[in-house]
Amino acid sequence: MFKVSILAGLLLLSGCSGLFEKKPQSPWATIKHESRQCLADLKNDPQLSAISEKVTLDTAYDRDTYFDLLSIEDLPSSTEKMAIKRWALKLERCYKIKAQGYPYEPRNVAIWSAALDSDQLVLILELQKGNLSYGKFAAKRLEVDTAYRGKIMQAVAADYKKPDYPQKPDYAPQPKSAEIQKRPLTSF
């Protein structure tokens, strides 16, 4: 009887696990969560199964995956072109959700992120038209991703160095012990 009640308790708790899930606290966190979920859902979308092994559907940056896709010399078939069109529409919806978070990000980060998303959609359109093989699409996408991610990282670094963002004390340059010994006691 005791085992049955423990088992029933575990089943009840497993059904209530969503109650204990941590929810985003701020508008920016909520938007970021929705954007990531939208992109993650693309991976398992049955409407995109025709192209799921030939492109990275979710825009996750994985150089190894891009390199694996470089060897695909096939142009999209008519069925795949329809799947690519659906993918572009769904991806654009994800990017629109993501864009709602731009006001919460540093200005230049938002600008470069929007440019990356736009160039991704242009590349997908070229793939849909049949102007690129899957391998060439992967190569161009890797090139675009690498260029924009570098610019986004520079924008983040530049924003972090602004004077209105104080550096953490742990990272502030520490005076050398000889400099401390030369200071008069009143300077502390």
pLDDT per residue over 158-187, tens digit each?
876 665 544 444 444 444 444 444 444 444
The pLDDT of residue 98 = 92
Question: Residue 99 — very low, low, confident or very high, per pLDDT cuts 50/70/90?
Answer: very high
pLDDT above 90 (res 91): yes
pLDDT interval class at 138 (50, 70, 90): very high
Is 0.85 surpassed by the pTM of this model? no
Tell me whether residue 174 is exposed, middle or buried, using C-beta atoms within 10 angstroms of its C-beta: 0 to 12, 13 to 18, 19 or more. exposed
Question: Per-residue b/e over 140-166, b at no fewer than 16 CB within 10 Å?
Answer: bbbebbeebeebbeebeeeeeeeeeee
- Position of tokens 């008519």? 78
C-alpha span between 56 and 62 (Å, rounded): 9
What is the signed CA dihedral for 109, 111, 114, 120, rounded to 10 degrees?
-90
Q: Indicate whether 14 pLDDT > 90.
A: no
Other beta carbons within 10 angstroms of residue 39's beta carbon come to 19
Least confident of 59-68, 70-79, 158-167, 178-187: 178-187
pLDDT at 173: 43
**Quick one: CA torsion of 133, 137, 139, 141, rounded to 10 degrees?**
180
Whole-number pLDDT of residue 172: 40
